[in-house]
Amino acid sequence: MADDQPRTLSSTQPAWRRVLPIVIAIGLMAFVLARVDWPSFTARLLVVRYPAFLAFMAVFVVALLSADTLATVYVYRRTIKGLAFRDFWIVRGASYLPSMLNHHVGQAWITYFVARAYGVDLRRMVGATLLVYASWGGCVLALACVAVLAAGLPAGWLALPLGAGFGYLILLGVKPARLAKGRVLGPLFDAGIQGHLVAMAMRAPHLLVLFLGTWLPFWFFGVEIPLVTALVYVPVIMVAVTLPITPQGFGTRDALAAAFFQSFVVASSDDQRLAALAAATATTAVALVGIEAIIGLALLRRASRLLPH
């Protein structure tokens, strides 16, 4: 079975590139934890109702997996006719293992795996995955617009991202032949503006689940972040933890939470406020890794059965 597993991008990377994200994660965690009040950190850990917290995290991960599958299957069916929701749900769950390196390694694993399992040109599958990214980016941009308006921030903040978004839509409408006929970019132009908008609508439940799953865990640790504030800052965390900076967003999530949410912790000093935030982000990250590892291990063998033998 080992020979049936597609190689991840990390297998071709030099050692220093594989080690660097871990070093950065350790550095960021050390920077955050060096400033916390340890008795307060321990106290926050002790007051959490772990059965409720872990149940919430498990439901969140399964809901996220299902919403992600729903949106991605819609896009991939343009390239793979008849792709079953159940089959891709299994593949997406199995991809949680390579995704532990970072989100994009997991996406590359899915792209290669699905292309091989269904006999699709890899370049077309890369294009389909780019459409997945485009729909995700469009949803994040829409959420950013809502956040800026809700927070009463200057509309000028949206000039650059909205300009880029409209520029992309114009490019889709113009449909330059040299780009549209390419196997990699072809799926983007085949979908067109309407296809992108529908893909964004299908992606919206995934974005909502991810937003709630990033925001609400803080409340289990007594950090009550208002909705308007969450709309502004949580999307930044959502995007940042997917970047290939650290594995699973370790350190990145913690540093951003410390920068954004200190004022919403009820405590008498900064180090105690940082302790509450560090307890929330570290525990959430550990829970996510544990649950996703269990799902990934449980589904990897079942996913391998989809490969041609």
Instruction: Write the pLDDT tens digit of every residue in 193-240.
Output: 999 999 999 999 999 999 999 999 999 999 999 998 998 899 889 888
70: closest CA among 201, 202, 211? 202
Assess whether pLDDT exceeds 90 at residue 121: yes
Q: Is residue 5 part of a domain?
A: no
Average pLDDT taken over every residue of the chain: 89
Tell me, yes or no, whether 147 lies in a domain. Answer: no
67, part of any domain: yes
For residue 130, what pLDDT is reported?
Answer: 95
Q: Is 96 helix (H, G, I), strand (E, B) or coil?
A: coil
Distance CA 116, CA 183 (A): 16
Q: CA separation (Å) from 94 to 42, 65, 71, 215, 294?
A: 34, 10, 17, 25, 10
What is residue 165's predicted lDDT score, i.e. its pLDDT? Answer: 86
Confidence (pLDDT) at 129: 96
Mean pLDDT calculated for residue range 26-32: 83
What one-letter code names the amino acid at 226? P
Given phi > 0 = left and psi -120 to 50 = alpha, else beta, which region is 249?
Answer: left
Q: How many domains does the chain have?
A: 1
Judge whether 163 lies within some domain: no
> Is the CB of residue 88 less than 8 Å from the CB of residue 76?
yes
Does the pLDDT at position 190 exceed 70?
yes
pLDDT band of 13, cuts 50, 70, 90:
low
Q: Is the pLDDT of residue 265 over 70?
A: yes
Contact call for residues 56 and 220 (beta carbons, < 8 A): yes
Helices (H), 152-269: 159-174, 177-180, 186-215, 227-240, 252-260
Q: How far is CA 183 from CA 123, 178, 193, 281, in A?
A: 6, 11, 18, 41
How far is Cα of residue 145 from the mean position of the Cα atoms in its chain?
Answer: 19
pLDDT digits 0-9 by tens, 293-302: 999 999 999 9
Residue 75 falls inside a structural domain: yes
Is residue 131 in a domain? no
How far apart CA 169 and CA 174 sit, in angstroms, is: 9
Count of alpha carbons within 13 angstroms of residue 126, beta-carbon side: 8
Residue 23 dihedral angles phi and psi, to the nearest 5°: -65, -45
Residue 71's domain comprises: 19-42+49-122+204-304
What pTM did the predictor assign? 0.87
Task: Report residue 173 as tokens.
Answer: 């409408």
Beta strands in 10-152 (DSSP E): none
Amino acid 261: pLDDT: 95
Residue 30 lies in a domain: yes
Q: Which of 70-84, 96-110, 139-153, 258-272 has the lowest mean pLDDT?
A: 139-153
Helix, coil or strand: residue 127: helix
Q: Is the pLDDT of residue 249 over 90?
A: no
Q: Which residue blocks in 216-269 are alpha helix, DSSP H?
A: 227-240, 252-260
Residue 211 lies in a domain: yes
